[in-house]
Amino acid sequence: MSRENGLKKFTHSKLFLPLVSLAVVLLVNLIKSPAFFAITVKQGVLYGRLIDVLNRGSEVAILAVGQTLVVAVSAGTDISVGSVMSLSACFTTMLLAGFGVNTTNTIVMPLALGILAGILMGGVCGAMNGALVAKLKIQPMVATLILFNAARAIGLLLNNNQITYIRYEPYKWMGNFLPHVPIPTPIIVAAIVIIVVSLILKKTALGMFIQSVGINSRASRLVGLNSTMLCFLCYVICGLCAGTAGMVASSRIYCSDSASIGLNYEMDSILAVALGGNSLGGGRFNMAGSIIGAYTIQAITTTLLSFGVSTDQAPVVKAIIVIAIVVVQSPVFQDYLENRRNRKASAAKGVA
């Protein structure tokens, strides 16, 4: 009985459907090519499709963390995160290489400082978005549209309208491998971001406050919550996440390609939040769901590529899969299933 209850609790939990979606995607791979799950060690580092999913999904997972908070607190989305990634990357490469330098083998500033500055740049962008949304009450989509357009261009400006290459070995670490560590660094970075934010949510009342403001900001104000400050804070965290993701993306290709870094990532991060079973109407949120959502998106992409679907056509198939997942999770469909189950149950009772 208790086991049955446990199972029921699990199937009714908010994480159930996101997990099932991810599992189904992985299962398809298992049937098609069992090699998908093979993890091998080559030249001292881990290889395999599964590692690939975790590795490539890092940026979206990091973005999803921040995006979840923004959606929860303001019932809106930050569509500037992709551009902010690009700006952060450009800012860091400018600092490391020096303004106007096209390609360099040495850096003019300590690496850690440069990366920290890039992450903080994300925070500054987040603060600007936050001020517009929280203080001036501009609709989130409009407020973040400004940086969505401008950030990428500012980045290009910082790099003197060219792509700056940092051919300095340690710069590649963050997006590839640390010496003597078999796990790709992006996975570690994503894990750190997730753990840090989870700890903040767990060890403070921030999580409850964010949800409270997102659900009913008037009532929240009357119980003494500073809705403006909380909303601002979420945008800053989201910006910091975008900065971090930008560092990873830039390190992967050891340059700041302002046109391609973070391109369309804002959409993937929003999709991750939605796939995680979170309402884009704000309020209650489920961080774990968003992260699972992020990796689901990556799993779909990797699967399609491994099936030989061309990169040009992949979005079509991806769209179909996403529709299926979203429909299955929709309340209307869930109600339909629930009703069917109830009817069957009462029919069975009637027979007995």
Q: Is 348 a residue that touches another protein (CB under 8 A)? A: no
- Considering the complex, what minimum distance in angstroms separates the CB of residue 10 from another protein? 16
Residues between 260 and 289 that touch another protein (CB under 8 A): 283-284
Rounded to an integer, what distance in angstroms lies between the CA atom of residue 187 and that of residue 298? 13
Site for another protein (CB under 8 A): how many residues? 24
Q: Is 346 a residue that touches another protein (CB under 8 A)? A: yes
Query: x/- string (CB under 8 A) for another protein, residues 68-107?
Result: ----------------------------------------
Q: Is 324 a residue that touches another protein (CB under 8 A)? A: no
Q: Is 206 a residue that touches another protein (CB under 8 A)? A: yes
Q: Is 220 a residue that touches another protein (CB under 8 A)? A: yes
Rounded to an integer, what distance in angstroms lies between the CA atom of residue 116 and that of residue 346? 61
Q: Is 196 a residue that touches another protein (CB under 8 A)? A: no
Phi, psi of 47 (to 5 degrees): -130, 155
Q: Is 335 exposed, middle or buried (0-12, 13-18, 19+ CB in 10 A)?
A: exposed
- Considering the complex, what minimum distance in angstroms separates the CB of residue 285 from another protein? 10
Q: Is 40 a residue that touches another protein (CB under 8 A)? A: no
Rounded to an integer, what distance in angstroms lies between the CA atom of residue 231 and that of residue 238? 11
The residue written with tokens 């959606």 in the block is: 71
Given 104, 162, 226, 306, the residue binding another protein (CB under 8 A): 226
Secondary structure of residue 42 in the 3-state scheme: strand
Measured from the CB atom, the residue of 1 and 223 that comes closer to another protein is 223
The residue written with tokens 């400018």 in the block is: 94
Q: Is residue 171 within 8 Å of residue 254, measured between CB atoms? A: yes
Q: Is residue 86 within 8 Å of residue 152, measured between CB atoms? A: yes
Q: Is 208 a residue that touches another protein (CB under 8 A)? A: yes
Measured from the CB atom, the residue of 217 and 298 that comes closer to another protein is 217
Measured from the CB atom, the residue of 162 and 211 that comes closer to another protein is 211
Rounded to an integer, what distance in angstroms lies between the CA atom of residue 188 and that of residue 200? 18
CA dist 304 → 57, 245, 252, 301, 309 (Å): 15, 24, 22, 5, 5
Which residues bind to another protein, rule: CB under 8 A?
203-206, 208-209, 211-212, 215-216, 218-226, 283-284, 339, 342, 346
